[in-house]
Structure 1
Amino acid sequence: MRLTAFSDVSLRVLMLLSALEPGQKLSTQKISEGVDTPYNHVAKAVAFLVNMGYLDSTRGRAGGVMLSDAGRSATVGTVLRATEGDIPMIECEDENGHCPLDKFCRLRNVLAKAREAFYASVDSVVISELTAGARPVGPVFVELGFAPPENALPAR
């Protein structure tokens, strides 16, 4: 199973914001730079995540986006179910799909079980746990006010 680019960007946005202090806001542009993804893709993911309740946004000069309480407790599984939707893994799962083996093939059921096993394996992983204790560093994060960890090696 391969995740869509939209799911990838959405998870990266949530992980970046979960690494910040609670209540700290970032602009969509800064998030775009932080996850190294085009602004338009990040803006679409941010709008979706706000609509789902995982992010809070404020417009205006002092505006920005921050992780909501629901976003702090969101699991990878719930986010992926929301971002992936019900995309068929193979053609015969699609209502318009056609397969001459459809009447006796069991592959569809096997793949459906595999998909559910995948989701079950990430249902217990809270996104904020993926970044717990992490202090991102790099040019974008230094600009955002993050300092390198005390034990970090000096830049060459």
Structure 2
Amino acid sequence: MKLSTKGRYGLRALIDLAGNCGEAPVSTASISARQDISERYLEQLMSMLKKAGLVKSIRGASGGYVLAKDMKEISVGDILRALEGSLEPVECAGLDPDGECSISDSCVTKYVWQRINESISRTVDEIMLDQLVEESRKNCCSGTDKRVCRN
């Protein structure tokens, strides 16, 4: 499985947003500057994350984005699926009850694909956004500097 820049940059952006979100919304310009992501591309990613119910946009002069849920409730899987779609590295018709696979009954490789798919899902669903924010602070920040650094 290989993630596109949507998944990689979107995850970085949400870690940044969560780490810098206090009472005020966080602008895409500030995330863009800290994460070295094109603001135009970042707006596209934030739109996808908004559609998935992970962020909310606040309009106005001091507008920007805030998390739509507590960061303890947002998993890496939620973020990646919102940006990438399915995380399954192999689509196997034999795993789909309605799939049209002529050898499904005798194919044993479908169990390999199923285990890989389940393992990826379990892993990304167990890692929560708050854990990544905490790791980012431990790894990148010193003293009173509370910025979430570029990953």
TM-score of the pair, normalised by structure 1: 0.69
Indicate conservation of the 8 Å contact 1:23/1:67, yes or no.
no
> How many percent of aligned residue pairs carry the same amino acid?
24
Residue 66 of structure 2: SS of its match in structure 1? strand
Asked if the contact 1:56–1:68 (Cα under 8 Å) also holds between the matched residues in 2, the reply is yes
- What letter is aligned with 2:118? E
Q: Conserved in 2, the CA contact under 8 Å of 1:9 and 1:37?
A: yes
How far apart are the structure 1 equivalents of 2:34 and 2:144? Answer: 21
3-state DSSP class of the match of 1:19? helix
Partner of 1:149: 143
Equivalent residue number for residue 113 of structure 1: 115
Q: How far 1:38 moved relative to its partner?
A: 1.4
Q: Distance in 2 between matches of 1:40 and 1:61?
A: 18
**Paired position in structure 2 for 1:76:** 76
Task: Give the secondary-structure state (helix, strand or coil) at the position aligned to 1:40.
Answer: helix
Superposition RMSD in Å: 2.8
Cα displacement (A) at 1:69: 2.2
Distance (Å, rounded) in 1 between the aligned partners of 2:2 and 2:132: 20
Gaps of at least 5 residues in structure 1 are: 95-101, 138-147, 152-156
Return 5+ residue gaps in structure 2 as ranges: 94-101, 146-151
C-alpha displacement at 1:93, in angstroms?
Answer: 4.5
C-alpha deviation, 1:58, in angstroms: 1.1
Structure 2 Cα separation of the partners of residues 88 and 51 of structure 1? 21
Give the Å deviation of 1:60. 1.9
1:3 and 2:11 correspond: no
Residues 81 and 150 of structure 1: is their aligned pair in 2 closer, same or farther, counting only changes over 3 Å? closer
Given that residues 55 and 71 in structure 1 are in contact (C-alpha distance below 8 angstroms), is that contact kept between their aligned partners in structure 2?
no
Give distance in 2, aligned partners of 1:23 and 1:106: 53
Q: Tell me the equivalent position of 2:49.
A: 49
Alpha carbons of structure 1 residues 106 and 81: separation in structure 2 relative to 1, 3 Å:
farther
Q: 2:131 aligns with which of 129, 132, 149?
A: 129
* Structure 1 CA distance for aligned equivalents of residues 87 and 51 of structure 2: 20
- Would the aligned equivalents of 1:9 and 1:41 in 2 still touch at CA under 8 Å? no
Structure 2 counterpart SS, 1:132: helix
- CA distance in 1 between counterparts of 2:110 and 2:25 reads 44
Counterpart code for 1:73: E
